[in-house]
Structure 1
């Protein structure tokens, strides 16, 4: 096993390579007898077959519902008896698993994690139980304006692409998913070749190296993932309405974004903060809520999906003021492109983004999760140490260029759930 520290500036994060060649990033901390592990497998809901959206989410929900020789009840009892926390979920690009355990229960915790990842049972009764849990949520979402607006946004933005499918599927598509579909997706989706691991807590590198082989050596070397093609957000300029008899319209809008590896990403991140990502200080919050009282909240964010990075925002307002709210939002986007940001806005945005970064790392679980995302994005093991300097290095010219790239490409796609007036 080899252990290499990335640099003098990032000695806290170690790269650990097991005897079997499995890599993990480790933050060793023995002050509290606790271990947190986050794993991710590339793939996710983008691997769902046509007509069977929700397979990836159903599979993730079943991983702790019995594994190896343990039924679902027995597996959950083992977790509860040792206060072991184990969770799995799927997003559009990946599956994630999170483990947290006291060190005195590490042997059992890692063994249960191993079984869940490598030998899930997918018992028929568990499949139906978890399916029904997801379906209950989908039935609720069928009446929820926020859920309907989000779903319709991705349908319009990513038409004809796997990203268009809801991560948890639809009532119809989830009903079409069989146990064999779930088993086949697990078989081709989980491997050592698409695996990312981060660990934080009271475990040393040598011990972790042995644990990695125990956990993952039974997985196949490579995954059998279906290729997912690149996509540029579509239907720009379109206004799509989801008719819903509610007093408020829920608005979603979007434009093509910036890939996480794009040299302008950090400048775009600052531009987004100034526009709508800074909550109480953002331009949209001031113009839409504070000055005009059009909405309680308004937000924007960058979503660097692997094959379709996008810029997305949203608000909710009275039906009769939906057109006015959207005009204000479009006006502020255009103003940022035309005039840029003031020196004061720029300085305050950078100051906030630098000062608040540490809040992403205030628990062991958060640290492990952040490290996995950094690894997936290919930012480097020393990114945590470099990140604030990258924010500080963004110039006003960088900001103008990124804002032009993000917001200067035409009218956004707009999706509204409700009965808006003035659109």
Structure 2
């Protein structure tokens, strides 16, 4: 896909963007882009830990902490806390991944003092009132009960179990129906104490704020957090070796397929080659091989796609498809056929050129808001990339040669697939 004029314009603007490494007087570090074009401030932050720090028998503790941090803190109950957020149009949210506990703040520049103060209170003095805990627990259980009969949720959960066995990555970040009733206030407070600390804190800020003012806000917000967390070490893990296939019977009108296998970690030299060749096989848009061969040419699936997933301690590729029950077997066979083909032959030069053009343009267009830019800068920190990686990204993509892509394809897909199929048994 040729790079559009708007993509080139965005790329030039981003190349001219100064990303500062800002360090506050007390040592809080952030990557910062000062942007006076809109009166907004967007901040993304994360600490190491995430769902891997849930007790083994209580998955979902981090999820519950994230759901309750903005439900009252200090002398503000839940109603009062939300009234203060709403009155100033402040957006504050939290969430765990497997690796990290993340937070997000959006505010108008004129409300920055109150916004950062409410975030400080949420992080340092959460109330975890019993009534709020029970309300959030009931809501979470309702979602989990729905997921227990949802074929896509069942397939994803089983896929992680097959891929990671007894490793913490196998546990669902949102908890289980069995674990949720066991989670108490002591678990929530213990998680906050162990995980939310300054030693692994990463911050990205984009917005209309003076660097000196931001430094003071960061000190006030994060300065009183514990200096060091008490996270339990998480071992590296490689996803289970393919091929494996699991069938889960479920009386639903559409059969769901989740497939994948061991991936390539972000720090490895072959990562970008894998990223490019994965776009060719199953990436976004109507030009991927899986979309064309499985959906368009054969009409086997309602949807099909695949992506790379990388964590601090592992990496995977994961794909999804949905199809009619009577065509599920044929769908899986065609997906496996396309995987074997690209593993054995690799992509063509034309496919490689098209993929690189798309990925260079889409990277720039994906950074067209303050929030998206802040999120990308945070991810770059978590991935241990250099502060100027945005400027280097297109050159890294362009440097992928056909031999690199073929080598990455063999490594990703040469062993086949881990496959989970959920649906009715074919008659």
Hey, which bits of structure 1, 4+ residues long, moved more than 4 A? 8-11
Which TM-score applies when normalising by structure 2?
A: 0.95
Cα separation, 2, equivalents of 1:110 and 1:405: 46
Matches within 5 A, 1:167-316: 167-234=173-240, 236-316=242-322
Instruction: Report the equivalent of 1:387.
Output: 393
Q: CA deviation at 1:123?
A: 1.1
Cα separation, 2, equivalents of 1:37 and 1:27: 10
Cα separation, 2, equivalents of 1:53 and 1:9: 42
Instruction: Report the equivalent of 1:418.
Output: 423
SS in 2 for 1:203: coil
Cα separation, 1, equivalents of 2:340 and 2:171: 31
SS in 1 for 2:307: strand
Cα separation, 1, equivalents of 2:253 and 2:38: 51
TM-superposition CA deviations, 1:332-363 (whole Å, max 9, x none)? 11111111111111110000000111122111
- Mapped contact 2:28–2:219 kept (Cα < 8 A): yes
Q: CA deviation at 1:278?
A: 3.4
Matches within 5 A, 1:48-67: 48-67=54-73
Q: CA deviation at 1:10?
A: 6.3
SS in 1 for 2:226: coil
Cα separation, 1, equivalents of 2:425 and 2:317: 23
The alignment yields a C-alpha RMSD, in angstroms, of: 1.3
SS in 1 for 2:412: helix
SS in 1 for 2:38: coil
Cα separation, 1, equivalents of 2:390 and 2:416: 35
Cα separation, 2, equivalents of 1:11 and 1:367: 11
TM-superposition CA deviations, 1:121-156 (whole Å, max 9, x none)? 111111111111111111111121111111111111
Q: CA deviation at 1:75?
A: 0.3
Instruction: Report the equivalent of 2:9.
Output: none
Instruction: Report the equivalent of 2:11.
Output: none
Cα separation, 2, equivalents of 1:420 and 1:343: 41
SS in 2 for 1:384: helix
- Mapped contact 1:323–1:420 kept (Cα < 8 A): no
Instruction: Report the equivalent of 2:4.
Output: none
Cα separation, 2, equivalents of 1:34 and 1:115: 21
Instruction: Report the equivalent of 1:19.
Output: 25
Instruction: Report the equivalent of 1:4.
Output: none
Cα separation, 2, equivalents of 1:342 and 1:26: 40
Which TM-score applies when normalising by structure 1?
A: 0.96
Q: CA deviation at 1:56?
A: 0.6
Correspondence 1:96 to 2:96: no
- Mapped contact 1:252–1:416 kept (Cα < 8 A): yes
Correspondence 1:87 to 2:93: yes
Cα separation, 2, equivalents of 1:16 and 1:169: 37
- Mapped contact 1:41–1:96 kept (Cα < 8 A): yes
Correspondence 1:71 to 2:77: yes
Matches within 5 A, 1:95-174: 95-174=101-180
Structure 2 gaps of 5+ residues are 1-13
Note closer, same or farther for the CA distance 1:420–1:349 as it changes in structure 2 (3 Å cut): farther
- Mapped contact 2:44–2:102 kept (Cα < 8 A): yes
